[in-house]
Structure 1
Amino acid sequence: MSVKTLWGSRVQEYYRKMFRYYAIIGANVFYFFLIIGSVLIYFFHLFVQWLPPELAVEVILSLIVTYILTQTKVRTFVEKADIPFLLPLESRLTPYFIRSLLYSWVIDVSKLVIFLTIFISLFLDTTSLHLLFLLFIVAIAGFNIVMKWIEQWLENRIQLLLHRLNRFLLLYFMVYFLLKDDWMYVLIFMSVHVVYILYFMRKRRTLNWLWQIDEEERGRLKNLRFINFFIDVPI
C-alpha cells in the first residue's frame, strides 16, 4: 500500500466497520435523535422563556456552539502499530494529514450548520442563514481545527490550559458576534486568531505521534460508546 492511497484505505476500513454497526441500529438511531432532539429543544424553549430579558439568547447559543466546537477530535485514523512504519515516512505524509484536517473540518461545519439551522429558525428572529453567514461558519470551524491541531505541540499543562482558554474565548466571541450580525467584530477576532496561529506555526515542527494516536483513540471510543447504547460492541 502506497502513502498516496493510505488515507483513503483507512477511511474506507473505518466506515466499513461503522456501517455494519449503524446498519443494525439505523432505525433506533433515527428515533433516538428525533426523541432526544425534540425533548432538548422543548426544554431549551422553556429555558429561554425563563431567562431574564436582559440576557440575550445569543449568549446561551454561543456557549453551546463553543462547547460543541471544543469537543472536536482531529481524526487521523492512525494506530499504535503505525509508529514503526510511518515515523520514517513522516516527511512524505503531509498530504495524509492535510486530508485528515479537511475531513475533521467538514465534520465540524456539518455539525454547526445543522445545529444553527434548527436553533436560529426556532429562537432567533433577528438572525438569518445566508451565504456570508455560512462562510463565517466555515471559517470559524477551520480556525477551530487548526487550534485543536496545535495542541499536540504544547509542552506542559499550563500551556495547554492557557491555549484552551484562549481557544474557547476566541471561538465564543466569534460565534456571539456572528449571531448578533456584528461582522466587524467577527473579523477582528478572526484577525486575532490568525495572528495567534501564525505566531505559533512560525517554526517547523515534527508530529507528536502519541498525541495523534490518543486523539484518534478518543474519537473512535466516543463513537463506539454511542453505538454501545443500542448493541454490544467491543471497545
Structure 2
Amino acid sequence: MNIESLWKDRVQTFWNQAVRYLRLIGNSGFMFSLYALFLAGGYFYPSFMEWLPSSVPVSLLFTLLFAYLLTRCPLRTFLKEGDLVFLLPLESRLKSYFTKSVIYSYVFQSAAVVIVFLLLGPLFRDRVVDDNMYMYTSLFLLLLINGWNYASFWAETRFQEEMTRFKHTAGRAVLNAAAAYLLFQGAPLWFPAAVVLVCAFVYIFYYYPLLRRHLLKWEVLLQQEEKRVSAFYRFVRSFTDVGHVKTRVKRRRWLNAPLDRWVWNKGSVFMVLFGKSFMRSGEYLGMYVRLILAAGLVMYAFPNDWFRMAAAFLFLYMTSVQLRALWHHLDVTIWPDLYPVAHVYKQNDFKALVKTLLAAQTILLTLVYLLTSGSLLPGVVLIGAGLALCFLYPLSKKDRAMIQNGREA
C-alpha cells in the first residue's frame, strides 16, 4: 500500500462518482427551481434592503449565522470501515494523510464562508460599515478564525466522549460569536483581532498539547466521515438510487406519542414504516423543517406578493422532490418484503404520507403569506396550486415500474 498516494486516490474516487450524480442533478427540474430563486433574489435584493426595517438586528443575525458556520467544522477524512483494521497499525505514518484531510475540509468550508459573506456584502455595507477595506479585512479575520476552529476541532476528535466534545464545541462557539459580534458591530478591527490572538493562545497552550497526550479516535473520525457522506448522498438520493449509504436513527421520544396515534390507526404496515422513517431517520424531518423555515424567510424578504407566492410554490416543489428519497428508504432491508401485505399498498401509503406533509406545508406557507401580505388573490392561488401538487404528486417512471413488477410477482 502506497501511503503517499492513498489520500489522493480516495479523493479522486469520491469525486469521480460524485460528478456523475451532480450531472444528473444539474439536468433536473430541481436545479431550475434554484436558478429561478437566485435570479428572483438578485432582482429584489436592492428593494429588500430598502424595505428592511431599521429595527431588525442585522448585526445580531450576522453574528449568529457566522458563529454557526465557523463552529460546525464538517470534516472529510475519506476513511472506510476496513481502515480501523488495516490502517490502524500504520497510524504513525498517516500524519500527512490527516493533515491533507483537515486542509481539504478547511478549504471547502472557507469557500462556503466566502460565498455567504459576499452574498451578504451589500447588506453589510448598508447596515454595518460602508467601507470596502473594513469588509474584506473582516472576511480575512473570519477565515483566520475558521482555520483556528479546524485546528481545534481536529484536537477535539481525540476525545472519545461525545459530551466532552460538545463542551469544547460550545466553548469555541462562544469565542466565534464574540469575534463575529465585534466585526458586525463595526468595532475597531483591533478588538476582533484581540479575540483572534486569544484563540491562538488557547490553541497553543490547550489544544496543541492534546494532540500529544491523546491518540487518534478512529471510531470518531469514521463517524464524522459517514455523517458527511450521508449528508451528500441523501440529497443525491432524491434524484437517483444510492443504496449503499448508511442512515442515522434518532429516537425523538417527544414525537413518538402523536405519531403513533396517527400512523397506527391507519391499519397499514407501510404507513407505519414510512411514518417512522420520516420522523426518526435523521434526514427527512430536518430537511422538511429547514425548507419550511427557508421558504418563510424568503417570502418575508420578497416585497412583491406574486413573487412571494411563486417562492412558496418553488419550495413546495423542492420539498416534493426531496421526499421522493423516502420511497427508497426501506429498500436497504429485506424485512418489509417478507410481510404478507400486497406491494401496491406501499405506493398508496407513501403517497398518502407525502400528500399529508405537502398539504401541511401548503397551509403553513399560506399563513406566512397572509401575515406578510395584504393581497388575497395570490394567497388563494398559492393554496390552490399547493393542494393541486399534493393530490397530483407523481412517482418517477422507475418507481412505477417497480410497483408494476411487485404486482406481477
Q: State TM-score, norm by structure 2.
A: 0.51
Identify which range, 13-22 or 199-208, moves more after superposition.
199-208
Q: Summarize the alignment of residues 166-181 of structure 1 with structure 2, pairs less than 5 Å apart.
A: 166-181=171-186
Cα 1:129–1:139 change in 2 (3 A) is farther
Write the distance in 1 (CA, Å) between the matches of 2:173 and 2:99.
24
C-alpha spacing 1:149/1:177, structure 2 compared with 1 (3 Å): same
Partner Cα separation in structure 1 for residue 38 and residue 184 of structure 2: 21
Aligned partners of 2:37, 2:72: CA distance in 1, in Å? 19
CA shift in 2, pair 1:70/1:14, >3 Å: same
Moved more, 201-210 or 131-140: 131-140
Instruction: Give the structure 1 partner of residue 373 of structure 2.
Output: none
Question: What is the CA-CA distance between 1:214 and the residue it aligns to?
Answer: 0.4
> Is it true that 1:143 corresponds to 2:152 in the alignment?
no
Q: How many Å separate the matches in 2 of 1:138 and 1:202?
A: 23
For residue 209 of structure 2, give the secondary structure of its aligned residue in structure 1.
coil
- Percent sequence identity is 27
C-alpha distance in 2 between matches for 1:120 and 1:159: 36
What letter is aligned with 2:74?
K
> Shift in Å at residue 127 of structure 1?
4.9
Q: 1:134 to 1:31 in 2, by over 3 A?
A: same
In structure 2, distance between residues paired with 1:65 and 1:39 = 24
Deviates more, 1:90-99 or 1:131-140: 131-140
Relative contact order, higher structure (CA 8 A, sep 6+):
1
Answering whether residue 208 of structure 2 is matched by residue 201 of structure 1, we say yes
> 1:201 is paired with a residue of what secondary structure?
helix
Residues 98 and 157 from structure 1, CA distance in 2 versus in 1: closer, same or farther, beyond 3 angstroms?
Answer: closer
Is the Cα–Cα contact under 8 Å of residues 80 and 213 in structure 1 kept in the other structure?
yes
Query: After the TM superposition, which of the residue ranges 82-91 and 132-141 deviates more from structure 2?
Result: 132-141
* Residues 1:149 and 1:25: Cα distance change in structure 2 (over 3 Å): same
> CA distance change for structure 1 residues 200 and 148 in 2, over 3 Å: closer, same or farther?
closer
Moved more, 200-209 or 165-174: 200-209
**1:186 and 2:192 matched:** yes
4+ residue stretches of structure 1 with deviation over 6 A? Answer: 38-43
TM-align CA RMSD: 2.6
CA contact (8 A) 2:157 2:221 kept: yes
Match of 1:49, as an amino acid? L
* Matched pairs, number: 231
Q: Quick one: distance in 2 between partners of 1:105 and 1:26?
A: 26
Distance 1:228 1:40, change over 3 A: farther
User: Residues 34 and 209 from structure 1, CA distance in 2 versus in 1: closer, same or farther, beyond 3 angstroms?
Assistant: same
Instruction: Supply the distance in 2 between the matched residues of 1:157 and 1:202 (Cα, whole angstroms).
Output: 20
Q: CA 1:141–1:12 in 2, change beyond 3 Å: closer, same or farther?
A: same
**For residues 50-73 of structure 1, what are the alpha-carbon distances to aligned partners after superposition, in whole Å with 9 as ceiling and x for unaligned?**
5x62x5311101211222333331
- What letter is aligned with 1:22? L
Match of 1:226 in 2: 235
Q: Which 5+ residue runs of structure 1 have no aligned equivalent?
A: none
1:127–1:181 CA contact under 8 A, matched in 2: no
Contact 2:77 2:98 in 1 (8 A): yes
8 Å CA contact retained: 1:63, 1:172: yes
TM-score normalised to structure 1 length: 0.86
Shift of 1:128: 4.9
Structure showing greater radius of gyration is 2
Deviation at 1:40, TM superposition (A): 7.8
